[in-house]
Structure 1
Amino acid sequence: MIDNFFKDKNFNLEQFTDKEILALKNRITEKTTKTGKISYNIKCFIREKNVALKPEELVRQLYLYKLIHDYDYPVNQIAVEYSVSFGREKKRADIVVFDKQNTTAPYIIVEVKKAKLKDGKEQLKSYCNATGAPIGVWTNGKQISFYNRKDPNYFEDIPNIPKYTEKLSDILSERWNIADLIQNDKLVTERKSLKDLILEMEDEVLANAGVDVFEEVFKLIFTKLYDELESTRNKTRHLSFRNYGDTDTELKDRIQQLFVNAQNKWEGVFEENAKIMLSSSHLSVCVSSLQDVKLFNSNLDVVDDAFEYLMSKSSKGEKGQYFTPRYVIDMCVKMLNPTKDETMIDTASGSCGFPVHTMFHVWKQILDEKGIKQSHLFTAEEKPTECEDYVKSKVFAIDFDEKAVRVSRTLNLIAGDGQTNVLHLNTLDYERWDETVQQEEWTDTYNQGWKRLKKLRQSKNSNYAFQFDVLMANPPFAGDIKESRIITKFELGKNAKGKYQTKVGRDILFIERNLNFLKPGGRMAVVLPQGRFNNSSDKYIRDYIAEHCRILAVVGLHGNVFKPHTGTKTSVLFVQKWDDELCPKVEDYPIFFATMQEPSKDNSGDKIYLKDENGSPILDEHGHLIVKHDLYNHDGKTQDGIAEAFIEFAKKEKLSFVGKD
């Protein structure tokens, strides 16, 4: 019956071990009333009497067990329901651990919440301020946060609380290498996302710091990525992006120098003399928040999430350009199956999801050929020369948003070990490219990539058409192009009657522009508003596509996929340009249609993760959470999906880019 209590309440107690939960179960008693209703009591570890077992009490008793048995605090140094005075008002702190020497002074205050509740952190901080307690803990059983109260305004994250035999300084001064970071990664141990931590930093520090939040968080992530890379490639090196008990000024000097070193390795992301603009005290809090997070993993999805959030705050959505969820990108990559000998471009790259995941797809092919197993630190490790050569010569990206380009360049520079072909250009306004590339500042940053892109032009002196094998993109939906100078360069600038229009949807012009980037036989995946497939007024667009290429597939995405940015219903169009050899033109042919059934996100735009029958998250082989979708089979942990069905279809149709069994 007690097991039913846990299951019925849908508790999420990931912070606690099976041993701790079992110890708690042994102290629970159940009672049946005359009406047949069952209630539960538990013998409190501190009060030594039975108390009603409610969700919040369950979490409290588990944490009490942890304090006594894991941290070795004596029972007589712990109190529950401790009275805290706020003037005439009194409140009760859930758990208080007293100082060893001054046994009446609170040393650690713990605020517990029931499993599905997230608030209470401000309440915890107010208790610490009122009592002078230097350490605070917040937990709801699933997530946990540890804080060091530096002064009433600043609470710094700390990796853990000291045991009874330790001091706080022991926790803060312990030197970490990359193995320590892997073992204590806050995203795993505290069940948080990098986005959650940035939100916390915004609430606690950044909102009042008088700085550009995007720029300063970007600098910190950039710096920390460099620090992790250096330590991954030298396992004995101590991580430098940590507060080892330094003064705020000492810490700022060290982090600033680390930022300079990162800029020297990965040029062209920040201005040459860029500095971290946060004050010493603000920076100290931010470093403490980020230092226990492992940014590098097998596929950069940790950084992806953070950049997606930062970019959405920087007006990205206002331009109708939204980040494509990585599981949609992976479906497209699996279906188009790019190889190491093929060139690939994204013409509206955002944070470069399509190019980066294309790299991973091709790198896996290269590693498989060499019999090398991909580790969970794959993105930070040195890779075979063929992997670097592929990034350098075959993968390209373009975006018109300067901030997006800088994020894209960062991910590409990191993944490509200092190589990138991400360019800041307006894809549609190709006639003005020659003016842009003459600007000295632009050339300083983008010239190497531009030289490589020029080699793929169809005609030597024209930016109109290129010779790419694969193109994947999610062009902006919102907003119309109204400049006749641009509209008149496109066939799709005309309406169904063949007359040029005064305004044209940006995504419509992108269809034609993207096809011009492809060589004959080249293939494309492009995300489009559902209306382009359904509206009778858009028939001329569909006719144009059918005239120039074979329609391979249309995959309808769930309406929640692009939430919270937009609820626009979208589909992915897959095509291959007609070519005598790779895709001979035929009048009649089958098309693969599929519709995504699993929403992958809830109505608020939060991802839905795969869980087992007990409600625990299912992780992939690298320890990542798996989004619940039906687009493809995730490492054998989920069922075959749309991508696998398409691959079977493509084999039957003998499409040129699908491997034979």
Structure 2
Amino acid sequence: MVAPILKGSEIPMSSATTIIIQQGKLLDFIDGTTQREETPEEYVRQEIAKSLVREYGYAKKDVAVEFTLALGSRKPRADLVVFPPDMPHTQQAARIIVECKAQSVKATDRTAGVGQLQSYLSSSPNAIFGMWTNGLERYCFRKVTRAGSISFEEVPDIPAFGQEEEDAERPHFDQLKPASSDALLFAFRRCHNYIAGNQGLQKPEAFWELLKLIFCKIHDERGSDEVEFYASSRERNGGVNGPLKVKSRIDKLFAAVKSEYPTIFKKEEMVELTPVVLAYIVSQLQMYSLLESDIDVKGRAYEEIVGANLRGDRGEFFTPRNVCRMAVEMLSPEEGQLVLDPACGTGGFLITSMIHVIDKIRASERKKWKDDARADKAIQTRASRYAETHIVGIDLNPHLVKAAKMNMVMNNDGSGGLFQGNSLTSPASWSDDLRRQNLLGAVDLLFTKAPSGNKASN
């Protein structure tokens, strides 16, 4: 297991290797030795490099950083170039080209925008796919050559290792990738900004529309036989009819979501996005498996977007994920213990507790059963029962309760144990549903970080 590398620290990478990271430098993920200037653009490049290896499955040896291309008399350097396995790193052999920029650079920039990427693809005869990103925006293209003329089609994603070009259009469940590092955070930011900028909604309204689609994505992963949460490039660029096909699939998914979660969504609610905007958002999320993504990756992405839209003036601040994990590991909840957070916010302590106990359940059942299928069934039964009966959260802010329920569903469920209420008042003033929990004298472990601020009541 490789130890993490901390800036300014001396960390042994193996019994024979020690690397010292200089102040203001980043260690190159691909070669593991080069120290690059810590700039906004470099941060984006390193994150995408991690994605190419961890999410898309390409070997580090088949990825080149700052690869020199020949464009007439110019010799620019492409940020990341992917080559077929065991092929020489030449411009002729290049298969995928990725350009990474700082967030301040726009896709429409005349010299550093998507046009730069397309010029690189045009000069590389066998490069078919390209990606341009600044961390907030992300565009993927497929080069099409017809009768000697080159054009570019925008596609949802670049292919993963071993994936055929056609398969990149409609993903299959076994091809979905858990999001790593900040990839999901970038995707949520892109989607939220795109909705706000292209739908005419205020950012909080855009946030709720994004959460509807996150729920549709989760429902698709859990309940569909084939992926329905997708938008092909032909649909996105197919005039009126293409985006309408995407909308039809998403509307069916959302109808099922409303039926499954009536306490979160009202019967009359609809996905309010135009078909064109909807198709774009779907294309940005379709390649990920939200259920399989690491809890900290999802938590960091989700809570940033929640915090930017729902943090009010009552001193609401979300507990950092590492603090949640530290507290939960210290008390180490057991399956039979009732866990309460009386100021739960988006549910960080509760989700961390739930995952902690489910990991114990998983270890127990794996030891008991030799048959993985029987073990998985037992794990799911015990985990669902625990999440439904032993995880309880209360928060005064009804919007945060709704967001917490969404967060719990994204991480395994347990959303039925979340209630709106003031935990500082007498239980007599609570809702009937909350009083029926009979919490007084029944709570085994309490995790919380009460709201704090000049206007908070403590």
Q: How does 1:516-535 map to 2 (within 5 A)?
A: none
C-alpha offsets along residues 527-569 of structure 1, whole Å, 9 cap, x if unaligned? xxxxxxxxxxxxxxxxxxxxxxxxxxxxxxxxxxxxxxxxxxx
In the alignment, which residue of structure 2 is the partner of 1:159?
A: 157
In the alignment, which residue of structure 1 is the partner of 2:251?
A: 256
2: CA distance between counterparts of 1:64 and 1:269? Answer: 43
Secondary structure at the counterpart of residue 444 of structure 2 = strand
1:433 equivalent in alignment to 2:429: yes
Q: How does 1:317-466 map to 2 (within 5 A)?
A: 317-371=312-366, 383-413=379-409, 415=411, 417=413, 420-430=416-426, 433-434=429-430, 436-437=431-432, 447=433, 450=434, 452-453=436-437, 455-457=438-440, 466=441
1:138 equivalent in alignment to 2:105: no
Alignment length (residue pairs): 381
C-alpha offsets along residues 320-360 of structure 1, whole Å, 9 cap, x if unaligned? 11111221111111111222222111000011111121122
In the alignment, which residue of structure 2 is the partner of 1:63?
A: 81
Q: Which amino acid counterpart does residue 214 of structure 2 have in structure 1?
A: I
2: CA distance between counterparts of 1:238 and 1:311? Answer: 30
2: CA distance between counterparts of 1:205 and 1:137? Answer: 21
1:291: Cα distance to partner?
A: 0.7
Secondary structure at the counterpart of residue 314 of structure 1 = helix
Structure 2 CA distance for partners of 1:136 and 1:337, relative to 1, 3 Å = closer
1: CA distance between counterparts of 2:215 and 2:82? Answer: 39
Q: 2:199 aligns with which of 209, 220, 223?
A: 209
2: CA distance between counterparts of 1:350 and 1:264? Answer: 25
Q: Which amino acid counterpart does residue 63 of structure 1 have in structure 2?
A: V
1: CA distance between counterparts of 2:89 and 2:263? Answer: 48
TM-score by length of 2: 0.68
C-alpha offsets along residues 133-185 of structure 1, whole Å, 9 cap, x if unaligned? 99863269x99954259xxxxx966211699xx87xx3554x43321113xx5
Structure 2 CA distance for partners of 1:367 and 1:256, relative to 1, 3 Å = same
1: CA distance between counterparts of 2:33 and 2:331? Answer: 45
In the alignment, which residue of structure 1 is the partner of 2:108?
A: 122
2: CA distance between counterparts of 1:307 and 1:5? Answer: 30
Contact 1:156 1:285 in 2 (8 A): no
Q: How does 1:589-600 map to 2 (within 5 A)?
A: none
Secondary structure at the counterpart of residue 318 of structure 2 = coil
Structure 2 CA distance for partners of 1:428 and 1:451, relative to 1, 3 Å = closer
C-alpha offsets along residues 199-245 of structure 1, whole Å, 9 cap, x if unaligned? 223444432312311110110111101111225xxxxx211101144
Structure 2 CA distance for partners of 1:239 and 1:471, relative to 1, 3 Å = same
Q: Which amino acid counterpart does residue 439 of structure 2 have in structure 1?
A: L
Higher relative contact order (CA closer than 8 Å, sequence separation 6+): 2
C-alpha offsets along residues 612-657 of structure 1, whole Å, 9 cap, x if unaligned? xxxxxxxxxxxxxxxxxxxxxxxxxxxxxxxxxxxxxxxxxxxxxx
2: CA distance between counterparts of 1:280 and 1:205? Answer: 12
Contact 1:412 1:420 in 2 (8 A): no
TM-score by length of 1: 0.49
Contact 2:340 2:445 in 1 (8 A): yes
Contact 1:111 1:120 in 2 (8 A): no
1:312: Cα distance to partner?
A: 1.4
Aligned residues: CA RMSD: 4.6
1:111: Cα distance to partner?
A: 6.9
Q: How does 1:96-245 map to 2 (within 5 A)?
A: 112-113=99-100, 119=105, 121-123=107-109, 127=115, 137-138=131-132, 145-148=138-141, 158-160=156-158, 170=166, 173=169, 175-182=170-177, 185=178, 187-188=179-180, 192-211=182-201, 212-230=205-223, 237-244=225-232, 245=234
Structure 2 CA distance for partners of 1:341 and 1:431, relative to 1, 3 Å = closer
1: CA distance between counterparts of 2:32 and 2:448? Answer: 49
1: CA distance between counterparts of 2:274 and 2:378? Answer: 35
C-alpha offsets along residues 414-444 of structure 1, whole Å, 9 cap, x if unaligned? 555566211011222336625x44xxxxxxx
Q: 2:61 aligns with which of 9, 13, 19?
A: 19
Contact 2:215 2:257 in 1 (8 A): yes
In the alignment, which residue of structure 2 is the partner of 1:9?
A: 36
Q: How does 1:556-575 map to 2 (within 5 A)?
A: none
1:294: Cα distance to partner?
A: 1.8
Q: 2:445 aligns with which of 464, 467, 470?
A: 470
Q: How does 1:570-609 map to 2 (within 5 A)?
A: none
In the alignment, which residue of structure 1 is the partner of 2:16?
A: none
1: CA distance between counterparts of 2:377 and 2:218? Answer: 12
Structure 2 CA distance for partners of 1:299 and 1:348, relative to 1, 3 Å = farther
Contact 2:341 2:349 in 1 (8 A): yes
In structure 1, runs of 5+ residues without a counterpart are 26-41, 79-96, 98-107, 150-154, 232-236, 374-379, 438-446, 458-465, 481-504, 508-661
Contact 1:265 1:418 in 2 (8 A): no
1:196: Cα distance to partner?
A: 1.1
Structure 2 CA distance for partners of 1:130 and 1:413, relative to 1, 3 Å = closer
Q: Which amino acid counterpart does residue 390 of structure 2 have in structure 1?
A: K
1: CA distance between counterparts of 2:171 and 2:412? Answer: 26
Contact 1:156 1:288 in 2 (8 A): no
1:17: Cα distance to partner?
A: 4.1
